[in-house]
Amino acid sequence: MAQLNAQGQPYEDDAPEPDAPVAAAQASTDAIDDLLAEIDGSLQVNAEQFVRSFVQKGGE
């Protein structure tokens, strides 16, 4: 399975290293940075418990 670098771009074993599509700077970068900081703060504490408690039954 392809590994991903920090930008999410896969490294491929059988292909030349792709031109990294660097996450383009967005107009709303500051807002996204604030959001990431907020997520980081909340997940530092309870990420594992949150993931564990999200249990659904199959549907359809």
The yes or no reply on residue 48 touching another protein (CB under 8 A) is yes
Q: What is the dihedral of CA 37, 42, 2, 23, to 10 degrees?
A: -20
Taking the complex as a whole, the smallest distance from the CB of residue 16 to another protein amounts, in Å, to 10
DSSP state of 39: H
The yes or no reply on residue 41 touching another protein (CB under 8 A) is no
Taking the complex as a whole, the smallest distance from the CB of residue 55 to another protein amounts, in Å, to 6
End-to-end, the C-alpha distance of the chain in Å comes to 30
> Which residue type does 52 have?
R
Binding residues for another protein, rule: CB under 8 A, are: 1-10, 12, 15, 18, 21-24, 26-28, 31-32, 35-36, 39-40, 43-44, 47-48, 50-51, 53-60
